[in-house]
Amino acid sequence: GAGVSQSPSNKVTEKGKDVELRCDPISGHTALYWYRQSLGQGLEFLIYFQGNSAPDKSGLPSDRFSAERTGGSVSTLTIQRTQQEDSAVYLCASSLNRGTDTQYFGPGTRLTVL
Amino acid sequence: KQEVTQIPAALSVPEGENLVLNCSFTDSAIYNLQWFRQDPGKGLTSLLLIQSSQREQTSGRLNASLDKSSGRSTLYIAASQPGDSATYLCAVNYGGFQKLVFGTGTRLLVSP
């Protein structure tokens, strides 16, 4: 079946602009995660959704970052007033339920802030 | 602080060799541990998931072990092939909200 998909695959934006990144999880997966992979920081957790609620937002680096999930499916990560340090690959993952299940990752969105 | 470390950072071997990648983690109270591979410019592919109650998992030429008491996991790759060349990431689920804490990875190159 279809895996996790993300769009766009690449995004180049100017400093100060807002961007939206989209994640379509595997159908039926209730848990959804956003991670960020950058050269200096490795792979780091941003936010976790169970259904439409986000019980863990501890990884969001600043209040410029927000995310939502609707219908227990699609999620959008929004970065406002982008800064150069936001440049990274943003990865989305989903799992059937929280806890014991494998997390399946999408191909990522490469964000470049000029 | 929960940390995951992978050694070595890079490894180069000739085709056919058996090899071991190492992962160590602080705090033995883990929920599970997952091994991934990442090809350049691509996302992560899940290889093996070991629950905290398990000692090892096998899939084809891959075998992953877990020793919670010593805070270690190893990924054994038998009869390596050039197609195994990738970065291998170890990730620990410490429970709670199930977020993964990733190691820095081992970049593997298998030469023909």
Residue-level pLDDT at B97: 63
A100 vs A8 pLDDT, higher one = A8
CB A44 within 8 A of CB A54: no
Residue-level pLDDT at A100: 66
Q: Is B99 in Cβ contact with A100 (below 8 Å)? A: no
Q: Which chain A residues contact residue B104 at CB under 8 A?
A: 42
CB A87 within 8 A of CB A114: no
Q: How many CB atoms lie within 10 A of CB A44?
A: 16
pLDDT value at B2 more than 90: no
Nearest Cα residue to B6 out of A90, A26, A104, A42: A42
Q: Which chain A residues contact residue B43 at CB under 8 A?
A: 4, 91, 105-108
B52 touches chain A (CB under 8 A): no
Residue-level pLDDT at B96: 65
Residues A66-91: pLDDT tens digits?
A: 999 998 899 999 999 999 999 999 99
Residue-level pLDDT at A30: 92
Q: Is A31 in Cβ contact with B43 (below 8 Å)? A: no
B58 touches chain A (CB under 8 A): no
pLDDT value at B17 more than 70: yes
CB A26 within 8 A of CB A3: yes
Distance CA B44, CA A106 (A): 7
Residues A13-56: pLDDT tens digits?
A: 999 999 999 999 999 999 999 999 998 678 999 999 999 988 88
CB A26 within 8 A of CB A2: yes
Residues B55-98: pLDDT tens digits?
A: 999 999 999 999 999 999 999 999 999 999 999 999 999 876 67
Whether a cis peptide bond, with omega within 30° of 0, leads into B14 is no
Residue-level pLDDT at B42: 83
Q: Which chain B residues contact residue A93 at CB under 8 A?
A: 44
pLDDT value at A1 more than 60: no
pLDDT band at B28 (very low <50, low <70, confident <90, very high): confident
CA distances from A42 to A39, A90, A104, B24, B64 (A): 6, 11, 18, 16, 22
Distance CA A86, CA B41 (A): 18
Instruction: State both tokens at B111.
Output: 């030469």
A102 touches chain B (CB under 8 A): yes
CB B46 within 8 A of CB A104: yes
CB A50 within 8 A of CB A30: yes
Q: Which of A53, A100, A104 to mutate to test the interface with B (most CBs of B within 10 A)?
A: A100
Q: Which chain A residues contact residue B99 at CB under 8 A?
A: 33, 45, 48, 56, 59
pLDDT value at A2 more than 70: yes
Distance CA B25, CA A69 (A): 32
Strand A109-113 vs strand A10-13: parallel, antiparallel, or unpaired?
Answer: parallel
